[in-house]
Chain A
């Protein structure tokens, strides 16, 4: 089974702190994504990456940055955390950029990182 591991399940940070959320996948997937999930708003895409060192903005990139130095690792960075960034953060990965098989576009999610900014 594909595993997506998010290193921190629960974090509490103070306003203005720099926050790193780490995500690692173990099945050689090309694509990796960071979403945030808020009640009533569904999942919203922050950033995604389709290759090492490649990244593209999602729908809500403001206040966030990402890093993908190795294929298996995708990090989300909050340069200066604010209270409106309190949320559940979900990392996901998928196999291929062009859907070569029915399963290629299935998103496999990590368990999530619940961030509280005080």
Chain B
């Protein structure tokens, strides 16, 4: 069964405490893996797309990596403004995206 699983469901960090979020998938024919950030009461906002195993993307304190079975979103020295829910989505074909349930990140000052 095609599915995407994110862990942990929730993560509390102190400001400056680095950590990683996991997105594991069992989707055949991956065409792309997407990371989104969602703030409360808002729609998801695009962060990264990864297309092949070994690929890495960086943006400020965030770095996304991809293997054949999972992706990690590494957060280095997070700040309170990084608090949000991070969603992972795997594209199987042009219109089919499998979404994980998200990891809710809370960064305390």
Interface residues on A, range: 20 to 34
Question: Do the beta carbons of B31 and A99 come within 8 Å of each other?
Answer: yes
Question: Do the beta carbons of A48 and B42 come within 8 Å of each other?
Answer: no
Contact digits for B43-75, partner A, Cβ 8 Å, 1 yes 0 no: 111100101000000000000000000000000
Interface status of B26 (Cβ within 8 A of chain A): no
Contact pick for A106, options B46, B99, B100, B102, CB 8 Å: B46
For residue B27, give the distance in angstroms from its CB to the closest CB of chain A: 13
Interface status of B29 (Cβ within 8 A of chain A): no
Chain B positions within 8 Å of A43 at CB level: 44, 87, 89, 97, 99
Interface residues on B, range: 20 to 34
Contact pick for A50, options B34, B36, B87, B95, CB 8 Å: B95
Interface status of A87 (Cβ within 8 A of chain B): no
Given that A42-B101, A106-B34, A107-B34 are known contacts, is A97 also in contact with B94, CB under 8 Å in the complex? Answer: yes
Summarize B's interface: helix, strand, loop or mixed. Answer: strand
| Residues 88-118 of A contacting B (Cβ, < 8 Å) | 90, 92, 97-99, 102-103, 105-112, 114
For residue A49, give the distance in angstroms from its CB to the closest CB of chain B: 9
Chain B positions within 8 Å of A48 at CB level: 95
Question: Do the beta carbons of A108 and B46 come within 8 Å of each other?
Answer: yes
For residue A47, give the distance in angstroms from its CB to the closest CB of chain B: 10
Question: Do the beta carbons of A90 and B101 come within 8 Å of each other?
Answer: no
Given contacts A43-B44, A97-B94, 10 further A-B contacts (CB under 8 A): A31-B95, A42-B4, A42-B87, A43-B87, A43-B97, A43-B99, A90-B43, A109-B44, A109-B45, A112-B41
